Structure 1
Amino acid sequence: MKIIKYKIQYILLGLVMLLNFSCEEFVDINADPNNPTVPQLNLLLPATQLSMVGSFDAINRGASAVVQHRGSGSLNRYDQTGSTFQNTWFGYYTSALPDLNTIITSGTTQQAWGYVAIAKIQKAFLFGMMVDIWGDVPYFEAGSSPNPAFDEGSVIYEELLSLLDEALLDMETGFSVSSSADLFYQGSKVKWQKMANSLKLKLHLQARKTNPTRSAQEIASLVQSGNLIDSNEDDFTFLFGTNTAPNSRHPWYATGYAPGRDGYVSMVVVDRLMAQDDPRLRYYIFRLNERAGLANSTVGEGYYGRYPGDGTSSPADNNTRAIVGVYPSGGVYDNGQIPSLPASNMFLTNEGAVFGTTANSFKVVLFAQGDGTGAGIQPLLTHSMVKFYRAEAALTLGTGEDASMLLKEAVMAQMQEINRVSPAFPLTSDVIEAFTDNLVMQFLNTDPAGQLELVMMQKWIAMYGNGVESYNDYRRTGLPQLEDLLAPLDVFPERFFYSENELNTNEKVVQIREELQRNQQITPVFWKK
């Protein structure tokens, strides 16, 4: 996994350099030296990447609540409004996508094919995600009309596959990208090629129920090419920084470790990892108080969170509720005793654990020089995901690969990724090997339905931090089974609500906005059959 620090200073530095350069050049009285007429691609590209990640947080939180990775938020009770994801819609349609289109258009004129290719890949990634969560969205007229038509998701998917093919051809025409302008891959042609092919594989898998034969053939061909993300070094993952001004830390850290906290951790995550003897619990959840229990009781083990659909008000519990851990938010690893762990556990144990709240109490967090800095990650398309895609394809499309080995490799990759975020408390290679071998044994000793259930449960656990991916998985496969909500406010959301502002101002939909919005809750996206 190539880890890149999220530093807005890079953009500011580039702007300063641009201004200095303009002032040093001969001044043309008919041109504004501070506003160049030719777009500076090396400044636009990192701006699009920051915008992509910055606007992802809201939909990620919403999806994480739906799939029960997080224990609070309106989507935890299946409730959403036209303002829930308005900022994400606005961020993508007024910032990221216009800038990507500018890079594509201007880069083509400048024959800067590397920038053009990367912009096309990022555009395909963004629109693929937007179709997955919103369904039909403006595509063909986006940015060119004040009242763009909403295009069918299935049509957009086909356009995105073509766009990715174009990007791959562009890279063969020429590829020269400044390393400092590319926050993901530092201008690596090879890694962007793997990213493009892996995204194609994802789109084909996502739409596998619409045309299973085509998906099976395309996925098998992509696997045979060998040009996919196949190591953590190739991950399309963003690493946040540690700065507080401007705040470059992981958003879950910035709100979870603030005095006011940010909702509750999911007790579903706690229960499932406990029941499955999964050592990742100590990395996902950090306990502030070793005796805290549900509803602010003092008779628990510190795992004070909430079950899905809990709509009760929050008491004065900011110093007792559990919070996000070292993964993925760059918080703190939990090395405290868990008294209820059975002696039969092999992986989630108390070996090396300490008494007291944790090895890193909250006071240590505030002054720590190691973990607890907020330098977490946002996985977007990773080695682990690609192996999970291939395992699912092997089980559902008969692509001929060994799904048990793909499962093992997927979980190993994600555990190794955890170690990159938590180097002070790594999962040992012996634990990773034994844990994944145990999964293979479980896989081989169950029927085909159970095998798919095991794969999707392990992916759900591994996707903690990317709820959008698990939201797609659940709607596509119905797995893993979600817990019943305590007090739902609506039915399961098949799609996310559109921006209220878009529906109120777009003349093509304003007359049917209420019907359109309600259909978002109850009408599946095109690939769900």
Structure 2
Amino acid sequence: MLKKLSYITLFALTLVSCSDTLDDVNKNPNATETPLAPYLLTGSLKQGADLYWGADNNFNSSLLFVQHWAKIQYTEPDRYDVSNTTFTSLWNTGYATLITDLNTIINFPAAQANSNYKGIALTLRSWTFLLLTDAYGSIPYKEAGKKVTPSYDPQWDVYTGLLDDLKNAQSLLSTSNGAVTGDLVYKGDITKWKKFVNSLRLRIALRISDQEPALAKQAAIDATTDAAGVLGSNSDTFKFTYISSPQQNPASAWFETRDDFRISKTMVDKLYELADPRLPVFAQLPSDASVGKYVGGGNGLSTSAANDQGFAKTSKPGTYFLTSSSPAVIASYSETLFNLSEAVARGYIAGDAEQLYKNAITASLNQFGITDATVIANYLNQPTVKYDATNYAKSIGTQKWIAFFGQGLDAFAEWRRLDYPVLKAGPATVLDGKLPLRFFYPGTEQSLNGDNYNAAVAGQGKDLLTSRLWFDKK
């Protein structure tokens, strides 16, 4: 009931009295004249989850790029036949809604928002900026929300700035700094927010590790030695849990009226190869019972070739991801363990990289409801799954790619960084056999912020899907 009431308050309207003045006539009757921190926080969490888990940035783009899902009709996105109007949602909602509302909380006087609200808002703003720079590269950061035509900051400046912002967020968060309401993720549990902050710091440390190893090492040390710790169990996972329509999981809403996605053949084949117990969670059996096994859809096919695979003979993504209340996982315990394993493998922190790798896989299996100790042990003991200390990027990259199933934006970032698994473009793709390495900037940036857009492109490289970003060192 509390969760439902929170959703109701999210959309509560401020009543305005009628008058004969022109000012009152021109008022927006749906606008909140005095925004409240709990409402803004609730809205930011819901809108952020929708942005991360919804069609535009997830299953109709990044999930296709990393070959988690595939298109069985309307295959243009799966063939990378897209334009600079395709990726506007992440940019527009990220800046105009999320960052704007979170800045409002950050700038509130203490009487309107205690420091815990401000620390949470700064954390969520940092996460939003991280999504933006991972996807586009250089982005407005320092001047975002301060100028109509903000300049773009190079990716190095964004990442290092976010490390500072998260350090500041950590200092603002304290169990003694006042209660927080409107928090639909951690229910105001500041100890969990502090763990999430450190886990984001560790994520960013690894993002910059190939370009700035010394700075990455220090950031990893700072994140893992902070007294608050990092995500320590699946109960710490940062996820937004949906409810019933109209506040349902975006993928669930999509599949209520459309049938144009399948789980990717690349993923199904890998899960079969590894005898992975997550396969029945990630996929549904084809509706044609005579098929009798999971069958993925090919990526990068023409519409006719995709249709020819057979709607009834291919597997939809699992119902775990398509029910109304399916959660939008944003930062999992499993990911944090993989990151700790890699930080050890790189020599940044002390620990047992192999054991952390095993723990990460176990956490992912548990996350998806697989808890049988024998099943887990058998899986971990396979030669194809065992940790390879001579090529940690392959071991971690492959298993992290599986564990990130459904989290397209982060799966896309980590696949580019670690270069595993090795993916191949489909036969009808339009990038000369290459796969996308970034999102296009929205076309409106050229017309509304042209000088700064041109400067960013001149410094970063052409505004193409195949332009390699700074963090993605070859």
Shorter-chain TM-score bucket reads 0.7 to 0.9
Q: CA deviation at 1:448?
A: 0.7
C-alpha contact 2:102 2:121 (8 A) present in aligned 1: yes
* Amino acid in the other structure paired with 2:49: V
Task: Name the CA shift for 1:401/1:69 in 2 (closer, same or farther; >3 Å).
Answer: same
* Amino acid in the other structure paired with 2:122: K
Task: Output one character per residue of 1:206-263: Cα deviation in whole Å (capped at 9) or x when no partner.
Answer: 101122123223313432346111111111112222x23x2x222222223x353132
SS state of the match for residue 379, structure 2?
helix
Task: Output one character per residue of 1:49-84: Cα deviation in whole Å (capped at 9) or x when no partner.
Answer: 111111222222211111110112544323331111
Q: Indicate the residue corresponding to 2:162 in structure 1.
A: 160
Q: Indicate the residue corresponding to 1:394 in structure 2.
A: 344
CA–CA separation in structure 1 for the residues paired with 2:421 and 2:109 = 44
CA–CA separation in structure 2 for the residues paired with 1:514 and 1:154 = 15
C-alpha contact 1:204 1:218 (8 A) present in aligned 2: yes
C-alpha contact 2:14 2:32 (8 A) present in aligned 1: no
SS state of the match for residue 152, structure 2?
coil
Task: Name the CA shift for 1:517/1:326 in 2 (closer, same or farther; >3 Å).
Answer: farther
Pairing 1:307–2:298 present: yes
Q: Indicate the residue corresponding to 2:21 in structure 1.
A: none
C-alpha contact 1:68 1:266 (8 A) present in aligned 2: yes
Gaps of 5+ in 2: 18-23
SS state of the match for residue 379, structure 1?
strand
Task: Write the mapping of 1:221-240 to structure 2, written as runs, cut at 5 A.
Answer: 221-225=222-226, 227-240=229-242
Q: CA deviation at 1:140?
A: 2.2
CA–CA separation in structure 2 for the residues paired with 1:167 and 1:68 = 35
Instruction: Pick one of 362, 365, 390 that aligns with 1:448.
Output: 390
Task: Write the mapping of 1:211-230 to structure 2, written as runs, cut at 5 A.
Answer: 211-225=212-226, 227-230=229-232
Instruction: Pick one of 258, 263, 269 that aligns with 2:261.
Output: 263
Task: Name the CA shift for 1:216/1:486 in 2 (closer, same or farther; >3 Å).
Answer: same
CA–CA separation in structure 2 for the residues paired with 1:17 and 1:506 = 34
Task: Name the CA shift for 1:465/1:487 in 2 (closer, same or farther; >3 Å).
Answer: same
Q: Indicate the residue corresponding to 1:192 in structure 2.
A: 193
SS state of the match for residue 519, structure 1?
coil
Task: Write the mapping of 1:443-522 to structure 2, written as runs, cut at 5 A.
Answer: 443=387, 446=388, 448-449=390-391, 451-490=392-431, 491-509=434-452, 518-522=462-466
C-alpha contact 1:309 1:486 (8 A) present in aligned 2: yes
Q: Indicate the residue corresponding to 1:428 in structure 2.
A: 372
* Amino acid in the other structure paired with 1:68: Q
Task: Name the CA shift for 1:403/1:188 in 2 (closer, same or farther; >3 Å).
Answer: same
Task: Name the CA shift for 1:145/1:436 in 2 (closer, same or farther; >3 Å).
Answer: same
Q: Indicate the residue corresponding to 2:253 in structure 1.
A: 254
Task: Output one character per residue of 1:477-522: Cα deviation in whole Å (capped at 9) or x when no partner.
Answer: 2111113422220132221011122322224247689988943423
Task: Name the CA shift for 1:504/1:388 in 2 (closer, same or farther; >3 Å).
Answer: same
Task: Write the mapping of 1:258-297 to structure 2, written as runs, cut at 5 A.
Answer: 258-290=256-288
C-alpha contact 1:63 1:75 (8 A) present in aligned 2: no
Q: CA deviation at 1:174?
A: 5.1
* Amino acid in the other structure paired with 2:342: E
CA–CA separation in structure 1 for the residues paired with 2:410 and 2:374 = 29
Pairing 1:12–2:8 present: yes
CA–CA separation in structure 2 for the residues paired with 1:441 and 1:15 = 47
Q: Indicate the residue corresponding to 1:71 in structure 2.
A: 70
C-alpha contact 1:249 1:374 (8 A) present in aligned 2: yes
SS state of the match for residue 485, structure 1?
coil
Task: Name the CA shift for 1:74/1:189 in 2 (closer, same or farther; >3 Å).
Answer: same
CA–CA separation in structure 2 for the residues paired with 1:510 and 1:163 = 25
Q: CA deviation at 1:381?
A: 1.0
Q: CA deviation at 1:184?
A: 1.0
Task: Name the CA shift for 1:195/1:438 in 2 (closer, same or farther; >3 Å).
Answer: same
SS state of the match for residue 238, structure 1?
strand
CA–CA separation in structure 2 for the residues paired with 1:206 and 1:514 = 21
When the two chains are superposed, the root-mean-square deviation of aligned CA atoms in Å is 3.1
SS state of the match for residue 328, structure 2?
strand
TM-score scaled to structure 2, two decimals? 0.86
Task: Name the CA shift for 1:222/1:505 in 2 (closer, same or farther; >3 Å).
Answer: closer
Does 432-441 or 186-195 show the bigger shift?
A: 432-441
CA–CA separation in structure 1 for the residues paired with 2:114 and 2:257 = 47
Q: Indicate the residue corresponding to 1:178 in structure 2.
A: 180
CA–CA separation in structure 2 for the residues paired with 1:167 and 1:514 = 31
Task: Name the CA shift for 1:75/1:6 in 2 (closer, same or farther; >3 Å).
Answer: farther
What number of residue pairs does the alignment pair up? 453
CA–CA separation in structure 2 for the residues paired with 1:427 and 1:469 = 25
